[in-house]
Amino acid sequence: MAAISLGDMARSFMLRRHTVDLKQELQRLSNEVATGRVSDTAAHVSGDLTPITGIDASLARLKGYGAVTSEAGIFAGAMQTALGTVDALASDLGNALLSTSTGGSAALVDATGKDAEQRLETALSVLNTRFGDRSLFAGTMTTTAAVVDSDTFLTALTAAVSGAVSAQDVETAVNTWFDDPAGYDALAYLGGDPLAAVAIAPGEDARLDVTAKDPALRDTIKALAMAALLNRGVLAGESTGRQDLARRAGLNLLENKTDRTNLAARLGMAEAQIDAATTRNSNEISALQVARNGITEADPYETATRLDETEAQLEKIYALTARLSRLSLLDYLR
């Protein structure tokens, strides 16, 4: 059988090719040792990428929920703060109005009426609070204010109670204006329908549907406005009637306390639901990442062993190359 030999040029090319291959393998194994992850995932799982694809899809979906729950949580927190401010304004004024109505002087009634108008202005401003570029209490009309300003509001309401000669007449006229679709809803509320439920987790929604039309808020605004009318000259010269109006407004504010508390509790339940969903989503993300890492993880012992073997082979190639490079005709003839 004839012997097959390689020429110097062919042998040189062969050694270079082996050197390049070993260097690439050395780089790959070094990366796997450093990162703990296989370089070629498809080869590692024998081409079956279905589990990884499913995990990646779930991770992407959960991360999307993460952005939603983060924004929804802050939005709900801002709403809760606003409700707390409105409740404090109403409760403090309710007590002051009742105190004023029991033997208070005309000057004290006037001062309380002025305070009521200022509190109404603050309450309406709070209801117009924006979170980023979104109005908190305007429902689907997120780019507009929820309610008109205090002066516009009281101007319309003053016209509605004109002609009233007693505190009961004023209260009846105020109730009628608020209940009339052409009254508060058309002239004072600028928002839209309540927001739709927000998806915060797979198969789970949270509702942040509180608007300035919510009965608890509307009744509170109504009582604040009724007290503010004292600063608009309603029942002027009727000391007893103005005291009675202050009493009625104060009672309404305190009676509405339960409704405001229930509204805050309802919003608090949504906040708790969002927090719980955030925690569950985070835990599921962690579990999925662990599962994915388990699929793509490189065996540290096996990888280190192969790295040592590759380094040894490369060293042998270098030694062989150096030895062949020193050959001469004289050495060959010997």
Q: Is residue 43 part of a domain?
A: no
pLDDT tens digits, one per residue of 233-272: 899 888 899 999 999 999 999 999 999 999 999 999 999 9
Q: What average pLDDT score do residues 17-35 get? A: 62
Q: In 180-299, where does DSSP find H-type helix?
A: 215-228, 239-255, 257-296
For residue 132, what is the DSSP state? Answer: T
DSSP-assigned states of every residue in 204-218 = EEE-----TTSHHHH
User: Do the domain assignments include residue 64?
Assistant: no
How many folded domains does the chain comprise? Answer: 1
Helix (H, G, I), strand (E, B) or coil at 6: coil
Residue with tokens 């209801």: 127
Q: In this structure, what DSSP letter does residue 202 have? A: T
Residue 12, pLDDT > 80, answer no
Residue-number span of the structural domain to which 233 is assigned: 76-276
> In the predicted model, is pLDDT for residue 25 greater than 70?
no
- Among candidate residues 157, 170, 162, the one with its CA nearest the CA of residue 246: 170
Structural domain includes residue 285: no
- Checking if the pLDDT of 310 tops 80, the result is no
Residue 97 domain-assigned? yes
Segment 89-107 shows an average pLDDT of: 89
Average pLDDT value for the chain: 83
Q: Identify whether the C-beta of residue 281 lies closer than 8 Å to the C-beta of residue 37.
A: no
**Domain assignment present for 7:** no
Rounded to whole angstroms, the Cα distance separating 157 from 95 reads 23
Does position 2 have pLDDT exceeding 80, yes or no? no
Asked whether residue 107 is domain-assigned, the answer is yes
Tokens 């002066």 found at: 151
- pLDDT classification of 1: cutoffs 50, 70, 90: very low
**Do 84 and 140 form a contact (C-beta atoms < 8 A)?**
no
Query: Would residue 62 count as lying in a domain?
Result: no
Residues 6+ apart with CB under 8 A from 160: 173, 174, 176, 177, 183
- Residue 25 resides in a domain: no
Taking the CA atoms of the chain, what radius of gyration do you get in angstroms?
A: 39
Look up residue 135 and give its DSSP letter: E
Half-sphere exposure of 284 toward its Cβ, with a 13 Å CA cutoff?
A: 19
| pLDDT digit string, tens, across residues 163-185 | 889 999 999 999 999 999 999 99
32-83 pLDDT tens trace:
555 656 555 555 555 555 766 777 788 888 888 888 899 999 999 999 999 9
Distance from C-alpha of 14 to C-alpha of 7, rounded to nearest angstrom: 10
Higher pLDDT, 320 or 277: 277
Q: What is the pLDDT of residue 35?
A: 60
Helix, strand, or coil (residue 166) = coil
Q: Give the phi and the psi of residue 94 in degrees, each rounded to 5.
A: -60, -45
User: pLDDT above 70 covers what percent of the chain?
Assistant: 72
CA distance 73 to 273: 9
Which CATH number fits the domain that encloses residue 105? 1.20.1330
User: Over the stretch 205-214, which tens digit does the pLDDT of each residue have?
Assistant: 999 999 999 9
First to last CA, the chain: 26
Comparing CA positions, the residue from 98, 84, 103, 120 lying closest to residue 226 is 120
Integer Cα distance of 309 and 302 in angstroms? 11
Which two tokens mark 300?
Answer: 């540290």
Q: Express each pLDDT in 119-160 by its tens digit.
A: 999 999 999 999 888 999 999 999 999 999 999 999 999 999
Question: Residue 132: its pLDDT value, please?
Answer: 81
Q: Name 285's Cβ contacts closer than 8 Å, sequence gap at least 6.
A: 59, 62, 63, 66
pLDDT attached to residue 93: 94
